[in-house]
Chains A and B, each alone.
Chain A
């Protein structure tokens, strides 16, 4: 449940409890007051009426007497709505002929008979509330204070519609007061929720913004409550984070620049040395043996050093994010064949490639060449023949169409401990790779190139022996795109 909803519900509950309690108390007091007053008036009037009328009648009364007595009493009510029952022993008479007087309960009648006191009761009869009063008529003893029961009982029923009306009006008033109170409570709850939620929302936005890399995000701190404290803490955390990240970036950039600068500085002397290695090789044949060995050594090492510097430059370009992808739609199998052919590997590497024209894809041909050449060179150098290069297309339900290149050698495979590190820079397992064999950067460069394409490369051991390197490249299907672009959107040239 959201904070807003919780606040609204709480406020509403509080408002309901408050109004209902107040309403109930008010209602009870007011109702008692109204009813008490009306019933006191009625009883007083009734008693007075009976007392006034009783002496006019003969005692014991006959049926006609009872009847007229009842009628006379009933006429005393101000609202003329008095219904009267007069009973004497077994006889009774009502002011309205045939009145069943259903409001009168036997218990009340018994109480009047036995206790010789005025008894009243509020009853609800057939949906109407009414006041029933019962009174025994007594004689005042001439010489004693004890009053004697005459046996005559007078009962009165007064409808209490008016009073009921007051009470109903009270209920309505309370109900009507409750609705605005509730609405007000909800409004206040919403306001309060907004007051709390606004900073919370700002905090959420800011956190997300930080997560997206906008480390300079800060919150405006208002007031000095807990939320302001939270905002302040957030700002401090963000500032600390920004500082650390800036420091890290600075160090990283420095390290990268150093690598790039070193490689670059190595280039100029190497350029001079590389230019003449062929001359040295050529002339070595005519020199005495020691000098020839020395010259050839210089030549080979220069070539290696040049390759290493090349690799380092390439790596620092990847690190600096300066490596760009120049996509071209090419025949992948043809490209792989060319990679083998230009390095003279056609006869040493077995291939399982699709027919020409079967598998085309948008890749950077130069980078694909680097990837495949590195993997095959790695297999030839560290594995054993036969080295097999395979290519096929695969449909991945998530990534779409992909080209899968595998290089499988017939060697002993890669030791389990080495497997997770084969793509690390300069990683050389102690036994398998001596310094003379490659720069240790080939596989990392291949990995970076594959990653640049949005693909993956992994190394594993084949169950039947030998190491398998698998490159998965997403094929960007360009078939949907029209071959000739409209004049308006000329491309990169």
Chain B
């Protein structure tokens, strides 16, 4: 039974989502403020966080950054503002996915299950060697750990899944759409901003210089390709 933490300041929304998610089979905790949410994160230890972006006091963005600083729990942003800047800023702060309010419980549930699958979902990669060396980057597919120059890299579920997907077929170009399907399981027309923001985060975590990435290359007008240069 997945444990979900909802951080949402509006009581009606909080109660509604909690009720709906509980009916979908989740164990749900709810927090009204960012501070409370961070507190419950420690005590409740959720499998996923649904985070409202606009919160009184500490903003959702700040909460997202603080969670990411020491925790790789999947975060789904729920934003009332579907504007590009909000979404992109939220994604770059470390969110794995976003939904624009109002959202039906079933959709939210599907998104939660998708991010949860990301954490453990490497079943299709069995048969490949246990560890792969790509330059300074070492990927352990079974142990789901990544080290760069000997130091472990803390990757969020989306970043890890993205890296595993790209590196499984090094040299092959993936379109954003393909990556959306493989990593985010958006089998509809998802949002390429998810891919771009995630690539950006992944690059900064594995020590890529923004000007000349070594591992994740942009194929302009098409998508991304993995391969040490």
Which chain A residues have a beta carbon within 8 Å of chain B's beta carbons? 264, 267-279, 282, 303, 306, 309-310, 313-314, 317, 322, 324, 326-330, 335, 338-339, 342, 362, 365-366, 368-369, 478, 481-485, 487-488, 490-493
Contact = CB atoms under 8 A, between A and B. Distances in A.
A368 to B, nearest CB: 8
B222 A483 contact: yes
B4 to A, nearest CB: 13
Interface stretch (B9-17, B35-43, B113-121, B127-135): B9-17
Contacts of A314: 82
A330 B179 CA distance: 13
Given A268-B10, A272-B13, A328-B176, A322 B104 contact: no
Contacts of A366: 189-192
A329 B103 contact: no
B175 A330 contact: yes
B159 to A, nearest CB: 13
B84 interface: yes
Question: Main SS of the interface on chain B?
Answer: mixed
Nearest to A487: B212
Nearest to B229: A487
A329 B102 contact: no
B218 A271 contact: no
A338 B189 contact: yes
A278 B217 CA distance: 43
Contacts of B78: 271
B175 A328 contact: yes
A230 to B, nearest CB: 47
Interface string B160-176: 00000000000001011
B70 interface: no
B223 to A, nearest CB: 8
A346 to B, nearest CB: 14
A488 B211 contact: yes
Contact of A277 (B15, B83, B104): B104
Interface stretch (B138-146, B149-157, B193-201): B193-201
B103 to A, nearest CB: 6
Contact of B220 (A277, A317, A365, A483): A483
B57 interface: no
B101 A493 contact: no
Given A268-B10, A272-B10, A485-B218, A328 B102 contact: no
A324 B196 CA distance: 15
Given A264-B80, A278-B106, A493-B199, A271 B16 contact: yes
A270 B102 contact: yes
Interface residues of B, number: 50
Contacts of A313: 82
A492 B220 CA distance: 9
A336 to B, nearest CB: 11
B211 A275 contact: no
Nearest to A265: B80
B102 A274 contact: yes
Contacts of A279: 19-20, 23, 105
18 contacts: A267-B80, A268-B10, A268-B80, A271-B78, A272-B13, A272-B17, A277-B104, A310-B100, A314-B82, A328-B175, A329-B222, A330-B177, A339-B189, A342-B188, A365-B177, A484-B220, A484-B225, A491-B218
Nearest to B12: A272
Contacts of B221: 327-329, 362, 478, 481, 483
A313 to B, nearest CB: 6
B89 interface: no
Given A270-B101, A271-B102, A322-B83, A490 B189 contact: no
Nearest to B82: A313
A338 B23 CA distance: 30
A329 to B, nearest CB: 5
B101 to A, nearest CB: 4
Given A264-B80, A271-B103, A313-B82, 8 more contacts: A271-B10, A279-B105, A326-B191, A326-B192, A328-B176, A369-B188, A484-B217, A484-B220
B102 A306 contact: yes
Nearest to A314: B82
B83 A317 contact: yes
B174 to A, nearest CB: 12
Contacts of A342: 187-189
B103 A275 contact: yes
A329 B218 CA distance: 13
A278 B104 contact: yes
A99 B32 CA distance: 138
B213 interface: yes
A490 B213 contact: yes
B82 to A, nearest CB: 6
A282 B105 contact: no
Nearest to A322: B83
Contacts of B192: 326, 328, 365-366
A31 B78 CA distance: 107
A271 B108 CA distance: 11
B58 interface: no
Nearest to B193: A326
Contacts of B200: 493
A275 B17 contact: yes
A81 B81 CA distance: 116
A377 B196 CA distance: 31
Please indicate which of the listed interface residues B15, B102, B108, B199 has the most CB atoms of chain A within 10 Å of its own CB: B102
